Amino acid sequence: MNAVSTPETAALGKPAAGKWHVARIEWQHYWTPVLLSFRIPRPPDFRFVPGHYARLGLTDGTDAPVWRPFSMVSGPDDDFLEFVVVLVPGGEFSERLRSRQMGDEILVEKLSLGFLTLDQLAPGRDLWLLASGTGIGPFVSILRDGRTWSGFERLVLTHSVR
């Protein structure tokens, strides 16, 4: 399952009404004042391939949701969706997310998207995963998939941060 674009999602990069799930934040942890991990229950019909991202939406109750893409950190068989996010000072989505508490609502578009998946790679002996910052997220999801471990002899994950 690779990137999927439909007329409903293509217009202005925003999903049409009814094309998302409403979830509640069930866990969150601030690693730093601007680095946040959080989980929501995985909707029963939400499917993704490790390496995909989900579009998340937040509203302030007075206007249309603001949508942003975030890679899943969770594995394909987990009953939750986990994300790691850098909060951008003054960012429209970031400021809304910063004000959220456990139990608060967040919208999840029903389709997952992306090309950073194992099926896009040529077979080989070694799998090198190079990431910086929150870019490690999709690689964590890929490493939580058993196909990754059975498909390569050697896995190398390199992660750098400031």
Model pLDDT for residues 10-44, shown as the tens digit of each residue: 444 566 668 999 999 999 999 999 999 999 999 98
Per mean pLDDT, which range of 11-25, 51-65, 83-97, 140-154 is the poorest?
Answer: 11-25
Cβ(137)–Cβ(81) below 8 Å: no
Q: Is 46 helix (H, G, I), strand (E, B) or coil?
A: coil
User: Quick check: is 2 in a domain?
Assistant: no
Cβ(106)–Cβ(24) below 8 Å: yes
User: Quick check: is 94 in a domain?
Assistant: yes
Is 72 found in the same domain as 42? Answer: yes
Is residue 153 scored above 80 in pLDDT? yes
At residue 82, the pLDDT reads 98
Is residue 1 scored above 80 in pLDDT? no
At residue 11, the pLDDT reads 43
Is 89 found in the same domain as 11? Answer: yes
Per residue in 105-118, pLDDT (tens digit) is: 999 999 999 999 99
Is 78 found in the same domain as 47? Answer: yes
Q: Is 145 helix (H, G, I), strand (E, B) or coil?
A: coil
Is 83 found in the same domain as 49? Answer: yes
- Residue numbers of the domain that contains 149: 118-160
Q: How many domains does the chain have?
A: 2
At residue 151, the pLDDT reads 87
Cβ(25)–Cβ(45) below 8 Å: no
Give the CATH number for residue 17. 2.40.30.10
- What pTM value is reported for the model? 0.84
